[in-house]
Amino acid sequence: MECNIKELLDISKPNDPSSKKLKEKNQNLELLVLEKEDQSEKTNTILNQHSALVTYKVQKGEYYKVAVEKTIFALLLKAQNQLKKNYRENFIDVIKRVTSQDIDYFLKNLYKENIEIDMSKIKKTELSKVAFESTMLLVEDIKENTEDEAEQRELYKEIENLELAKIAYSQKMIENKNSSEEGNFLSEININDIFKEIRNYCKLKTIRKNINSKTINLTTLANSINTNSTVLKRELKKTVGTYLDFNYIKAKNLKTEVRTNMISSVRFTKKEKTTWFTYQIPREILELLLLPEVYVPLDEMVVDKIQGNYTLRMYSLLNDHIKRGEIELTREELFTFFCLPKSYENKTNLVKKFISPVLEEVEETSGIKTDVEFIPKHNWERIKFYPKKAKIIKPKSPAVIETIEDIYDNEKIKKQIEKTKRNIYVNKAWKKTTDNKLNKILNENGEEVVLEVLKAMYNGLKNEIKTTLVQYINGILKNLKDNKTENLQIFKTEESKTTFENSKKESTNIKETINSFEKSDILMAFEKLSEKEKATFENLALEMCSKETDIDKSFLLTMKRKSLTIYWNTLKPYLEKILINESN
């Protein structure tokens, strides 16, 4: 049956009986694998840069200073980690809906294109529902991003050829057929193509979720890359006007053609002594960051050590071709990509001021040793680089990004806010200051505490409030803290009351920090320990984290100096394991 998008828009969503719960073992496995992946990404310092983004020609504006290069690298790494996390969540959510096949298989093959599908375990009705949702999302995306009607029509025709669109259009037929005919229908339209389209649907959902602007602590970031925040702010403003033609050097024969800026919008907000940086990464860049098929792994540990103006570009270029062992550039490509001055056209100047110092720094920071050949030797027209990995470099601390999250970007919190506002007394008292308070709780305490506060507001407010909602929230937080303290199973220590009181005074900052990230009661026991015991358990957690994540301890300690928030969030799972083992 042919698919018609116009008619499909008028089809109501299929009714679907509630699906069966997953087996407990699958749920536990899913949580375990996802938690492991999430933890891995928190400490990940490798950016899998799409090869098309490695080389470029400045089409408009001026190229970045080194500090801006490092900042953009850190932002791209953060974006890629978040994209991977969201894609993983979206894909597993859809897979659970459309098949009863064991989820562990899909978890192990998250990023593989071709996977084996058990046709007998496909949930036809759920598949038709997902097909409808994916088709509608494609239509919505086209409407939002394409103004030309003729172009819209062409894109709609492309959608009509998709297998999921055919299922969506034919959903009534699927629902009315018996199981054997349904199976035949699915095999005819190719189940493997369907799952590839499901991946694309999950990618689209992920991109749309991450297209909005993000906010980070610029002061913390500037300090971590040893640059002045005022200077960095001035240079970052220029990035919006710098447009690059990507995939400039086509050594890998990639078909990708993209012209865009790396940051499409910037805004700065000063609060006390901290500068917050709000930015947006263009969609074209996000699409290349999400699950790139051809990429080069770039290490932030290496990038952080780079000082020279050309070194990051050279490191990226050489690393992209290190497996092949060579990369050849024309004279024009070399001068255009690196934005070299005319004075470097003299070969002696080029070698002395560019080739030698840049390759030396690349080797010093990354361990990549490179030989060079000019072709021909005199009046050269081409240059060949022969990179090879010579040694392993001890890692150094990368840039530290401290993010500010927004309650309305979190789906769980957003839904709970809508429910909480159904309480007329809450709704009447709700102001912008309430949003600000909840945002503060989200960034300091986490999602679970915000949800607890919102539920307490919904269930607890029975009369018109006499003060403000912010004060009411403060009362809820105090009650939550008191209740948790009462229920704790504290370690049995024999320290005296005097010793405890003294250590309590000395450890105010660390107590507040740990308590602000609390999600598990056992961790709150940490604040009751003596300073000596705290130091012991923290060191054990550092050792465990360093060993399991292959991150140098010096990096973690630098993180502690730069941002306690990130430090304790990173250390928390390991500290929890140690405390639980100690209490048993």
Same domain, 71 and 156: yes
Ranked by mean pLDDT, the top range of 44-48, 218-222, 235-239 is 235-239
Same domain, 152 and 250: no
Say if residue 309 is exposed, middle or buried (CB neighbours under 10 Å; 0-12, 13-18, 19+). middle
The backbone torsions φ and ψ at residue 533, rounded to the nearest 5 degrees and listed phi first, read: -70, -40
Q: Which residues pair with 243 in a beta bridge?
A: 60
pLDDT at 497: 44
- The verdict on residue 399 lying in a domain is no
- Locate the DSSP E strands across 272-343: 274-280, 295-299, 327-330
Pair of tokens at residue 184? 């035949």
Q: Which CATH number characterizes residue 232's domain?
A: 1.10.10.10
Same domain, 123 and 142: yes
Same domain, 178 and 239: no
Question: What confidence category does residue 495 fall into, taking pLDDT thresholds of 50, 70 and 90?
Answer: very low
Same domain, 20 and 163: yes
pLDDT above 90 covers a percentage of the chain that reads: 42
Same domain, 200 and 226: no
Selection from 115, 156, 82, 78 nearest residue 398 by Cα? 78
- The verdict on residue 267 lying in a domain is yes
For 274-296, the pLDDT digits (tens) are 899 999 999 999 999 998 989 99
Tell me the pTM: 0.69
- The residue with greater pLDDT, 94 or 488, is 94
- The verdict on residue 59 lying in a domain is no
- How many beta carbons lie within 10 A of that of residue 218, not counting itself? 25
Same domain, 466 and 566: no
Question: What confidence category does residue 109 fall into, taking pLDDT thresholds of 50, 70 and 90?
Answer: confident
Same domain, 357 and 474: no
The backbone torsions φ and ψ at residue 214, rounded to the nearest 5 degrees and listed phi first, read: -120, 160
pLDDT at 504: 46
- The verdict on residue 53 lying in a domain is no
Question: What confidence category does residue 496 fall into, taking pLDDT thresholds of 50, 70 and 90?
Answer: very low
Contact status, residue 315 vs residue 366, Cβ threshold 8 Å: yes
Residue where a domain stops, chosen among 178, 194, 210: 210
Domain count, the chain: 4
- Average pLDDT in the 123-147 region? 90
Domain boundaries, position 508: 497-583
User: Which residue carries 């992920």 as its tokens?
Assistant: 206
Selection from 209, 277, 273 nearest residue 72 by Cα? 277
- The verdict on residue 397 lying in a domain is no
pLDDT at 298: 95
Distances (CA, A) of 7 to 136, 186, 216, 394: 12, 22, 45, 61
For 5-59, the pLDDT digits (tens) are 555 554 444 444 444 444 454 555 555 555 555 555 666 789 999 999 999 999 9
- Residue 516: its H or E element: helix 508-516
pLDDT at 29: 52
DSSP string, 196-218: HHHHHHHHHHHHHHH-S-EEEEH
Q: How many residues appear in the chain?
A: 584
**Order of strands, edge to edge, in the sheet holding 368-375?**
327-330, 382-389, 368-375
Same domain, 203 and 222: no
User: Which residue carries 């029975």 as its tokens?
Assistant: 462
For 144-190, the pLDDT digits (tens) are 888 888 888 898 888 988 888 888 777 655 454 544 444 455 555 57
For 298-342, the pLDDT digits (tens) are 998 899 899 999 999 999 999 999 999 999 999 999 999 999 999
- The verdict on residue 49 lying in a domain is no
What is the three-state SS of 273-330?
Answer: CEEEEEEECCHHHHHHHCCCCCEEEEEHHHHCCCCCCCHHHHHHHHHHCCCCCCEEEE
Report the range of poorest mean pLDDT among 201-210, 384-393, 501-510.
501-510
Same domain, 22 and 171: yes
- The residue with greater pLDDT, 188 or 430, is 430
Pair of tokens at residue 372? 């060079």
Ranked by mean pLDDT, the top range of 106-110, 162-166, 559-563 is 162-166
Same domain, 443 and 509: no
- The verdict on residue 206 lying in a domain is yes
- The residue with greater pLDDT, 389 or 382, is 382
For 2-14, the pLDDT digits (tens) are 555 555 554 444 4
Same domain, 384 and 510: no
For 536-554, the pLDDT digits (tens) are 888 888 888 888 777 777 7
Selection from 170, 151, 158, 147 nearest residue 197 by Cα? 158
For 436-448, the pLDDT digits (tens) are 889 888 877 778 8
Residue where a domain stops, chosen among 463, 486, 509: 486
Distance CA 552, CA 545 (A): 9
pLDDT at 508: 45
Residue where a domain stops, chosen among 389, 418, 442: 389
Report the range of poorest mean pLDDT among 140-149, 230-239, 423-432, 507-516.
507-516
pLDDT at 185: 53
Question: What confidence category does residue 516 fall into, taking pLDDT thresholds of 50, 70 and 90?
Answer: very low
